Amino acid sequence: MTETVNAYAKLNLFLDITGIMPNGYHYLTNVTQSVSLYDTVTITAEKSEDFAYNIYCDNSEIPCDKSNIAYKAARVFFDEVGFDSKVDVAITKRIPIMGGMGGSSVDGAAVLAGLNRIFGNPLSKESLCALGEKIGADVPLCLIGGTLLSDKDGIRSLNTAQNDECFFVCVQPDFKSSTAAAYSLYDRQPIEENKAVENFLTVLSQKGMAGSAKQLYNIFTVLYGDNRIGEIKDELLALGAAGAEMTGSGSVVYGVFSDKSRAKSAEIALRNKYPRVFICTPVKCGIDIL
């Protein structure tokens, strides 16, 4: 059987590190928004006596081996359900690689959800999220999707202001960022926790994405202190963005626009300067099984 899944990217609206766990991982306060840019993941599987796996991707930068999170997702799924399968996964890649938009995590989420559908939904969404945690901290966020707050108390969905229409102009520069290196920066020079998240959540619920955009925050922007990121933010603000910030550990920077025509003008203005500039909008799901 075959299932095709649209796997939606995400943006970090507020991202802070609040401490280090005993195992070396980090406590986060993380407000995320799923957006309309997506990878398409097609999963074909049938039961077999032994586990066999093939992965295909239209982007040569993606490793098609056991290091791919899609492989890890399939492996933990079949370990959980107690049988094996032959699995083929084909990924059409649109989400920037190493851009901070959750591209690998959402592909893993798509494989978990697609396999679950193929084999008759043996696992609840809660169980899938628990499996997702084993392969990546962002995978449960991608399985749930929409507007989310995740912290040491878990994940919860957020309500934003009614009629909250906005447009994200995303800029992919000509440099990439390593997530592991980003967290190592924090380990070497921890930054005090940003206590503004509660106020951000209040404004987000009352005034929506554009209304809260002046309070966007990303600890990695502070840690990097990279003038190239600051320059892109300034350009987006000058072109009419209500606020601008980097997403994840980078390197994509986005601006929040309340007006579609202004967003389009900004995209056109920046298109010739940076490798990739695109517009996306908020969506209410992380994955969509077609």
Return the number of other C-beta atoms located less than 10 Å from residue 196's C-beta.
13
Helix, strand, or coil here: 95?
coil
Rounded Cα gap, residues 114 and 233, in angstroms? 37
Residues with a catalytic annotation lie at: 10, 138
Helix, strand, or coil here: 15?
strand
Helix, strand, or coil here: 114?
helix
CA angle 211, 216, 222 (to 5 degrees): 160
Report whether 87 contacts 1 (CB < 8 A): no
Which tokens sit at 140?
Answer: 């449960």
Please provide residue 51's backbone torsions phi and psi, each rounded to the nearest 5 degrees: -80, 125
